[in-house]
Structure 1
Amino acid sequence: MRAAVVGAGSAAFGFSVTREALAYPAKTGPSPYGSLLPADANGIMLPSGFTSRVIARSTQTVAGTGYVWHSAPDGGACFADGTGWIYVSNSEISGSGGASAIRFDANATITGAYRILSGTNRNCAGGATPWNTWISCEEVDTGYCWETDPTGVKPAVRRAAMGRFNHEAAACDPVRKVVYLTEDKTDGGFYRFVPTVWGDLSAGTLQVLKNDLTWATVPDPDGSPTTTRKQVSGMKVFNGGEGAYYRNDKCYFTTKGDNKVWVYDAAANTLQTVYDDDLTSNPPLTGVDNITADAHVGDLFVAEDGGNMEICVITPTDVVAPFLRVTGQSASELCGVAFNPAGNRLYFSSQRGTTGSSSGGITYEVTGPFRTGL
C-alpha cells in the first residue's frame, strides 16, 4: 500500500465511489466507452455515439441571448432549474473575474445567459452547495470564497470566514456538515470549513488536515500576517491543490504538482491515492485539474491542464483512460467539467481555445450514451 496514508486504525482498498475495488491505485486500461474516433467538426475526439456542440465563446454573445460570455472560463457546475438546468462557469481573469451562467430548458435549448458575480479576482474553481448556491473561489494569495446564486436573483456574498488564501475548489459534505477546500500552492493545505449553522456560510471554523489525519483549527483564517498554511504545525502538505468533488463520504481532489488524484474518506478517516502517473505504465492523465463524477456508476472525470488536452475517466474498477481529446488547442487547458442533473450531458471549457488567449475560451456540451449502471 505504498501510496496510502491510513488513520483511525482502518484501511481501505481501491478508490471506488460506489464500492471497494481490488486494484490500487488506478492503472492504464481500456475505456468503458471505447477508443476515440477522429476529431469532429469542433476538433474533439469522442467515443462512438457521442457528439459535441459549442454553447459559448469568450467575448461573443451566447446564442439566443444578449449576453457576452466571459473570458478564461474555468470551474463550473450544473443546477436543476424547473424542468431544465443552469450551467455556472467561473472567469479566471485577474481583477475582473467573477462568474456567469447559462440557462437551458428541458430540451437543452439555451434560454438565457447572465452574470452572477463581478469584480473579483482570478475565479478559478469552486463547488456547488446542497442548498443550490455556487461557491466561487479566488485563486490569489489573499483570495476569498464568494457564495453566488445560479439564478442571478440574489447578490453574491463574500464568505470571509472560509479563510483568505489561494483558494481553488470547494466540495460540500452534508453528512459531517463541512466544506472541503483545496489550496493551489506547492506547499498547500487541505482544509475544511465547519459552518456554525449548516446552510449558512457566514460564520464557522476553518480547519486544516494534519499528517496524522486529524483536523486542527487555523488560528487566523484571515491569513495576515501569517498565511493559513503556515499557522498549524504538522499540516499535511499537498503539492498544488486543484479540483474537488464529494460523494458517499469521500472527497476526491487533485494535486497538479505531483499529478495525483486523492480521496479522503471521511467515514473511515483514510487518505489514499486514486491515481498517480508514476505508478502506471503509459499514463494517459497528466496535468490533473478539475474533477467531477457521473450520477450513475461513479466514474470520475478529470480534466487536463496541459498534457494532450484530454478529459480522462477513472472507473470504479480502477481503470484510467481517455474519454475525449481536444485537438488544435495545445496552448489551452480543459476545465469546468460538470454533468447536468440527469447525467446525460457533460459540460466543460477550453480556457484559451484555439487562440491561446483568455479571450479565446470555448465552452462545450457533450451528449451520448453515458453509463447508467443498468
Structure 2
Amino acid sequence: MDRRGLIKGIGGAAVASAFAGWQRVHADGPVAAEGFGPLRPDPGGIFDLPEGFGYRIIARDGETMADGLLRPARPDGMAAFPGPDGRVVLVCNHENSPEDTGNGAFGSELERLQKAHRDRLFDAGDAGIGQGGTTTLVYDPGSGLVERQFLSLGGTERNCAGGPTPWGSWLSCEESVARAGALRTRDHGWVFDVPAQVDGGLIEAQPLTALGRFNHEAAAVSADRAVIYMTEDRGDGLFYRALLAEPGNPAAGARLQALALPELSGADTRNWNGSRLPVGATRRVAWIDLDHTDAPEDDLRIRGHAAGAALFARGEGLWAGDGAFYFACTSGGPAEMGQVFRYTPDDAGGALELLVESDGRLLRNADNLTVAPWGDLLVCEDTDDHCGLIGVTPDGALYPFARNLYTPSELAGACFAPDGRTLFVNIQKRGLTLAITGPFPGA
C-alpha cells in the first residue's frame, strides 16, 4: 500500500500528522524519508526519540527475578505475545557464553544454580554451565509495571535472535557452533521452542535438530505453520527453509533446504566486488535440498554453496509481514554496511528483492528488525558506535526513528505489542529493555 492509501485506510489526523512532510531526497546512497520528524535529545541520557514519543525502562540486567535467579546480561532478539487481561508476554534472548558467568542467571560463582531445575538446562555439565537462554517477562501496559519475570530457557549459549511462531512460542536460536569440550558437555548450534507462558518457568531444553546445526541467527514461520525460514550469521552464510513434516510441530522432523538464485551468476548476493544484484532487482528463487544437516564439522553452508545455494553477508534479523519475509545482512554491499532483502514465496519457489543497500550514512550494519503495524520495517543497527533504530518504507526509503547517543551499544529485539501501541527494544551492552509509546500510526 502506498503512503496515501495507508493514511486513507487507517484514517485519523494523528496518522496524517505522523507522515506529513515526507520528502524523497536522493543522495549518493539510499533514499531518505522524513519519517516521524527530528529526534529530540533525551534528558535522561538513554534514548532519543521524535516529538510525542517516550520510553519506560522495564528491565535491567542483574535484577532478581521471580524465580530467585538474576536477569542475564546482553538481551538480544525478542518477541511480544498476548497475555490475559491486556498483559504482554515478552520472551527475550540473552547472548552469553559459558565463560560469561558474571552475565548469566546463576551468579558469578554459580551460587544461585540451586534455584534452577538443573536437569532442564541444555548444557549443565561439571565443567561449565551455558549462560545463554531466554527470560520471560509479563508486562502490564496500563500500569507500566512488570508483574513477573523468570528464566524460561537455560544452559544454551549465544542466543542471539529467533522468531515468534503462530502457535504462541519463541524460536530461540544459538549463534554458536561450539563443540563439546572443556566448558561444554554437548554440541551447540541449535534452535529451541520456548512457549510464551505467563505462569510458566524453566522449560526442559530440547533442541530442534531437524532445523539444522549452524550459526543460527533468526527464524520466521509461514502463516500456514508449514515452513520455517532461517538466517545464518556468517560472512558466507546461506538463507534456509525447513519444510515441516507436521505443520506447527518442528520437533516432528523437517526437510532442510537452502535458497538458490539460478539467474545470478556465482550465486553471491553480497555485492562486495560490485553490484551484481542491484537495489530493486528481483530474482526468481529455487531451493536446494541439504543433507547431513547436523553438520558436526560446521560445513553445512560450504556444502550448500557448492551445490548452488546463494551466499549472504551475515544474515541476521528476519520477520514476516504482508505475505513476505524481510531479512537483514549486516555486512552486505560494497561498503559492507548492510543490506535488507524481501523474499516473497509462491508455489514456484518465490522471488528475492534487494530492498536496501547501505553506504553507511542512513543505516549502519542492519541487525534485528521487525515489521511495524503500519507496514514499514524498523531495523536495529549493530556497530561499535552509537546505534539507532531506522525505519524502512515499503519502497526502501530510510528514516531515523530513535538513536542511542549515550553508550556504544547495538540495539536489538525490536518488536511491537500485539495491539501495536508499544514498541519494545533492547540496548544490549547497558542491559536495558525499553517500552516505547507514542503516536504510532493506527495505535
Q: So what's the TM-score if we normalise by structure 2?
A: 0.73
1:210 aligned residue = 260
1:356 aligned residue = none
1:148 aligned residue = 194
Q: Select which of 345, 348, 371 maps to 2:441.
A: 371
- How far 1:371 sits from its partner (Å)? 1.3
2:315 aligned residue = 241
- Does 2:62 match 1:72? no
- How far 1:156 sits from its partner (Å)? 3.8
Moved more, 243-252 or 187-196: 243-252
Residues 41-72 of structure 1, C-alpha deviations (whole Å, 9 max, x = no match): 1421100000011111111236x996532111
> Aligned to 2:380, what secondary structure does the other structure show?
strand
Q: Partner letter of residue 215 of structure 1?
A: W
Mapping 1:142-291, distance limit 5 Å? 142-151=188-197, 152=200, 155-175=204-224, 177-202=226-251, 203-212=253-262, 213-225=285-297, 227-232=299-304, 233-258=307-332, 259-267=338-346, 269-278=350-359, 283-291=361-369
**Structure 1 residues 67, 204: closer, same or farther in 2, change over 3 A?**
same
Q: Select which of 104, 128, 132 maps to 2:168.
A: 132
Q: Partner letter of residue 95 of structure 2?
A: E
- How far 1:135 sits from its partner (Å)? 0.5
d(CA) in 1 for partners of 2:317, 2:396: 19
1:357 aligned residue = none
1:37 aligned residue = 40
Q: Partner letter of residue 78 of structure 1?
A: A
Larger of the two Rg values belongs to structure: 2
> Aligned to 2:207, what secondary structure does the other structure show?
strand
d(CA) in 2 for partners of 1:292, 1:40: 27
Tell me if structure 2 keeps the 8 A contact 1:313–1:321: yes
Tell me if structure 2 keeps the 8 A contact 1:42–1:54: no
Tell me if structure 2 keeps the 8 A contact 1:28–1:283: no
d(CA) in 2 for partners of 1:328, 1:185: 29
d(CA) in 2 for partners of 1:299, 1:230: 34
Tell me if structure 1 keeps the 8 A contact 2:288–2:308: no
d(CA) in 1 for partners of 2:171, 2:295: 20
Tell me if structure 1 keeps the 8 A contact 2:386–2:410: no
1:116 aligned residue = 152
- How far 1:228 sits from its partner (Å)? 1.2
> Aligned to 1:158, what secondary structure does the other structure show?
coil
> Aligned to 2:210, what secondary structure does the other structure show?
helix
> Aligned to 2:44, what secondary structure does the other structure show?
coil
Tell me if structure 2 keeps the 8 A contact 1:65–1:112: no
> Aligned to 2:40, what secondary structure does the other structure show?
coil
Tell me if structure 2 keeps the 8 A contact 1:30–1:321: yes
- How far 1:176 sits from its partner (Å)? 7.3
Q: Partner letter of residue 87 of structure 1?
A: L
Tell me if structure 2 keeps the 8 A contact 1:116–1:156: no
- How far 1:217 sits from its partner (Å)? 1.2
Tell me if structure 1 keeps the 8 A contact 2:75–2:95: yes
**Structure 1 residues 333, 223: closer, same or farther in 2, change over 3 A?**
same
Q: Select which of 20, 34, 59 maps to 1:56.
A: 59
2:31 aligned residue = 28
Mapping 1:297-336, distance limit 5 Å? 297-306=374-383, 308-330=386-408, 332-336=409-413
**Structure 1 residues 42, 150: closer, same or farther in 2, change over 3 A?**
farther
**Structure 1 residues 54, 106: closer, same or farther in 2, change over 3 A?**
closer
d(CA) in 1 for partners of 2:204, 2:176: 22
Provide the alpha-carbon RMSD of the alignment: 2.4
Sequence identity, in percent? 34
For structure 2, the residue ranges without an aligned partner over 5 or more in a row are 7-23, 99-130, 178-187, 263-284, 333-337
1:338 aligned residue = 415
Moved more, 104-113 or 230-239: 104-113
2:13 aligned residue = none
Q: Which has the higher helix share?
A: 2
For structure 1, the residue ranges without an aligned partner over 5 or more in a row are 1-13, 354-360
d(CA) in 1 for partners of 2:377, 2:404: 18
Tell me if structure 2 keeps the 8 A contact 1:175–1:249: no
Residues 324-364 of structure 1, C-alpha deviations (whole Å, 9 max, x = no match): 0012211x2110111111111111111112xxxxxxx1111
- How far 1:188 sits from its partner (Å)? 0.4
Q: Partner letter of residue 220 of structure 1?
A: H
**Higher RCO, 1 vs 2 (CA within 8 Å, ≥6 residues apart):** 1
- How far 1:106 sits from its partner (Å)? 5.1
d(CA) in 1 for partners of 2:229, 2:83: 25
Moved over 6 A (4+): none
> Aligned to 1:363, what secondary structure does the other structure show?
strand
Q: Which has the higher strand share?
A: 1
> Aligned to 2:50, what secondary structure does the other structure show?
coil
- How far 1:285 sits from its partner (Å)? 0.9
Tell me if structure 2 keeps the 8 A contact 1:92–1:123: yes
Moved more, 94-103 or 219-228: 219-228
